[in-house]
Structure 1
Amino acid sequence: MTRTLLIGTRASALASTQTGMVRDALVDNGATADLHFVHTPGDASQKAQTPVSRIGVGVFTETLRNALAAGECDVAVHSFKDLPTAPDPRFIAVVPPRVDPREVLVSHGNLTLRELPTGAKIGTGAPRRVSQIRAVRPDVECISIRGNIDTRMGRAGDGMTST
């Protein structure tokens, strides 16, 4: 009987979709694999809209890394942008081929970042994105926003542009 690999992931639609792609690639290569959902403190702070700058770095990945180290799952999948930059000797990082690495801006009227009016409000929870936006458009207001893709799209419908 073939052992089923458990792939640790967050339960968000984006995380489970990305992890499903990894699972499918493993299955296509003869493995048996299932998703194993891990709830992280970052998920709880996201519901409360606590800014990332207040909860600290690694809140999404640390629980996954601990689950992997404890043998709760065999593999863990998470967005590369959120992983710590320092190597962790407990793990081997594997990066699958990227699809489209560009960021996405959702705006009313499909305006680009440069086309947004002065004072436009842009919602993002990522300090890196705030820095990138301010470098190009110091005249817009960056507002802390957290949530999955559906939440962010909904907030854009409330009059806020979202990244």
Structure 2
Amino acid sequence: MHLTHIRATLSAVRKWVPLVLGLSFLALTAFTVYSATVQWQRGRLIDDTGVQVTGTVTRLLHVDKGYKKEIAYTVDGRRHTLNKGYDPTLHAPRRGDRVCLEAAREHPDIVRMCEDHYPQGDDTFPAYILGAFFCTAGLLFVIGHQVTVARRTREIGTAA
């Protein structure tokens, strides 16, 4: 009787795991595609209406293995700030350092470093695209697995 209860529980889990896994892959795919689209649109907005400004590092915020720099910049007389991640092996910023930025004229809070194509940096956009690709592959794998299981179940049912 105890073994029957365990089998019933495992059977219920087997039914829900693919659904939960599939929904997780679907949600992650939607998130990564949305994030990549937002980065692309914001990059295009800066390309179309961008204005080059000079920002100044006002603070260095210590995070896990490095720093984030807080950069203050002015567009059309209004002051804005940007928190930009920092890799300590690439550059050692100091308070007061000047930084080249490009901001969207209509939305000056959308800003990127002058060398970058996307506001969160050029490494972020491909990471979102790769994430979307792998999550979609995972979703298709789960769907394929479920189709295969359904076919086997149908074949077993018709053979009996």
Question: Which TM-score tier does this pair reach, normalised by the shorter chain?
Answer: under 0.3
TM-score (norm 2): 0.24
More helix by share: 2
More strand by share: 2
TM-score (norm 1): 0.24
